[in-house]
């Protein structure tokens, strides 16, 4: 019997989550993507099918602020930047789409930093 890979399990979890959550202009969906080295988050209005704003660890402002302190610190900075951009766009609350990833580690760090920045999730 073959084993199911981690990526397939994540996709199955994500499909199950996406049936339940959807974003609007007032309350966008915060979609998280986590790679081995980086993390990115997009605020998506599913009604219009548009991305309102995003934040990523690949941005120069984030890369320059963290120097070798680890990926969780990098994720916290992405969450803080996301909260700042949400305030600029007038978004006060959002729905968190963890992308099928377990709510642990870097994904949790992004969500908590966004909450600490004033975004209601």
Mean pLDDT of 97-101: 89
Give 32-75 pLDDT, tens digit per residue: 999 999 999 999 998 899 999 999 999 888 877 776 678 899 99
Q: In the chain, which ranges are continuous DSSP H helix?
A: 6-18, 60-65, 71-89, 106-116
Q: How does the average pLDDT of the chain come out, rounded?
A: 89
**What integer pLDDT is reported at residue 62 of this predicted model?**
84
Kindly list the structural domains of the chain, giving each domain's residue range(s) and its CATH number in brackets, ordered by start: 6-116 (3.30.420.100)
**What integer pLDDT is reported at residue 87 of this predicted model?**
93
Predicted structure pTM score = 0.86
CB 41 within 8 A of CB 30: yes
**What integer pLDDT is reported at residue 67 of this predicted model?**
64
The DSSP element (H or E) to which 119 belongs, if any, is none
At a CB cut-off of 8 Å and minimum separation 6, what does 112 contact?
76, 79
Banded pLDDT at 2 (limits 50, 70, 90): low
Adjacent-strand bridge partners of 51: 44
């Amino acid at each position: 019997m073959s084993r199911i890979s981690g990526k397939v399990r994540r996709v199955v979890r994500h499909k199950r989550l996406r049936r339940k959550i959807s974003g609007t202009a007032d309350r966008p969906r915060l979609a998280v993507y986590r790679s081995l080295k980086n993390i990115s988050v997009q605020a998506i209005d599913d009604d219009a099918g548009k991305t309102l704003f995003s934040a990523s660890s690949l941005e120069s402002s984030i890369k320059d602020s963290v120097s070798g302190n680890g990926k969780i610190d990098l994720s916290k900075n992405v969450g803080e930047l996301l909260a700042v951009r949400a305030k600029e766009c007038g978004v006060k609350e959002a729905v968190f789409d963890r992308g099928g990833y377990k709510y642990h580690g870097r994904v949790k760090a992004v969500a908590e930093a966004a909450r600490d920045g004033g975004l209601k999730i």
